[in-house]
């Protein structure tokens, strides 16, 4: 039997209920993983509240984790029982002690990376890779704006962008979150609750604005972010923690501003076989080389509802993991 957290309805964190389920042997091109660390992400919340509908209920959410291979199905090659592996992407189902996964989804964890780091860094790491290499190719001397910089993705983005030679301007929602953003390496941290934060960002980026702005907040933040980007820069909208992203009038992007708006999906990035493994290899390379991946909170698997409540309530910094 496998302890599994089922989402039994759309709604508040309390719809996440612990049950014991039988996990069948892995089928063709599948591996069975005994999980040791499970990432908690905003996409899990979006699934739970119905923003990104799941095909049926009850369902098991979660798109990121790490563990040990306990069984392999027919037609699997390159993965063996006992391998430490991590994964990110669809299908959902991570909130469980054991699960079966397509063998194309799992990647081996290098010896120097712990399960906790791998299980919490895959989705955020792939998102950072997508933003800094695919959406906009960061060059030394570029300016990058990172919203919600004290969070798991924000800290990871800041560290990787700094590694690439960028100057990072970070925004946070409270005084308490300035310290974590600074510790991640941000060159300047501003409160996005201040009325003039966009002016501060423009001044700090040479008066022109940033080359890349990464917005995981959504809501009204996106429209304000346009004002902080230089001509021919890019705004990447990658989340909506503060509410749905409003409709965008294309006239806001040009011809005076001449900026681009990207709405990239890390799930689509992870589901592209030509992108997934090279990006994961790059991620593991920078982690092995010392790029920190801060884990801000650890919860038992049975505490999944509390982890969701803390994440939604803005009471966390860094990445969150569930421990079976």
Domain positions in the chain: 2-122+267-323, 140-262
d(CA 180, CA 294): 10
pTM above 0.85, yes or no: yes
What is the C-alpha to C-alpha distance for residues 164 and 48, in angstroms, rounded to an integer?
35
pLDDT at residue 252, rounded to an integer: 65
**Could you tell me which of 169, 166, 170 has the C-alpha nearest to residue 141?**
166
pLDDT at site 250: 77
Fold agreement between 2-122+267-323 and 140-262: no
- For domain 140-262, the question of CATH label 3.40.50.720 is answered with yes
C-alpha–C-alpha distance, residues 135 and 269, integer Å: 11
Mean pLDDT of the 172-195 span: 93
Q: How far apart are the first and last CA of the chain?
A: 13
% of residues, the chain, pLDDT over 90: 85
Please state which of the four CATH numbers 2.10.25.10, 3.90.180.10, 3.30.465.10, 2.40.40.20 is assigned to the domain occupying 2-122+267-323.
3.90.180.10
How far apart CA 188 and CA 199 sit, in angstroms, is: 13
Across residues 199-217, what is the average pLDDT? 94
Per-residue confidence band for 189, with pLDDT thresholds at 50, 70 and 90 = very high
pLDDT at 254 over 70: no
């Amino acid at each position: 039997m496998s302890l599994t957290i089922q989402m039994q309805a759309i709604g508040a964190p309390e719809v996440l209920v612990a049950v014991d389920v039988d996990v069948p042997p892995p089928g063709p091109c599948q591996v069975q993983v005994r999980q040791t660390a499970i990432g908690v992400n905003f996409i899990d919340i979006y699934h739970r509240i119905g923003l990104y509908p799941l095909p049926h209920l009850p369902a098991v959410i979660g798109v990121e984790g790490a563990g040990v291979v306990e069984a392999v199905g027919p037609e699997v090659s390159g993965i063996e029982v006992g391998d430490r592996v991590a994964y990110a992407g669809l299908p959902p189902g991570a909130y469980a002690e054991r699960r079966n996964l397509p063998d194309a989804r799992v990647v081996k964890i290098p010896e120097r990376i712990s399960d906790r780091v791998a299980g919490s860094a895959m989705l955020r790491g792939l998102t950072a890779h997508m933003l800094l290499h695919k959406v906009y190719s960061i060059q030394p001397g570029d300016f990058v704006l990172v919203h919600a910089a004290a969070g798991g993705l924000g800290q990871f983005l800041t560290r990787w962008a700094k590694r690439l030679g960028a100057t990072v301007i970070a925004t946070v929602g409270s005084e308490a979150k300035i310290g974590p953003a600074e510790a991640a390496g941000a060159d300047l941290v501003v409160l996005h609750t201040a009325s003039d934060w966009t002016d501060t960002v423009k001044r700090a980026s040479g008066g022109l604005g940033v080359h890349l702005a990464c917005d995981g907040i959504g809501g009204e933040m996106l429209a304000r972010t346009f004002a902080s980007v230089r001509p021919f820069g890019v705004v990447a909208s990658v989340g909506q923690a503060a509410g749905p992203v409003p409709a965008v009038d294309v006239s806001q992007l040009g011809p005076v501003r001449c900026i681009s708006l990207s709405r990239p999906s890390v799930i689509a990035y992870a589901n592209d076989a030509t992108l997934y493994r090279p990006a994961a290899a790059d991620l593991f390379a920078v982690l092995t080389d010392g790029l920190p991946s801060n884990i801000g909170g650890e919860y038992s698997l049975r505490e999944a509802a509390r982890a969701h409540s803390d994440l939604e309530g803005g009471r966390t910094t860094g990445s969150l993991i569930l421990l079976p």
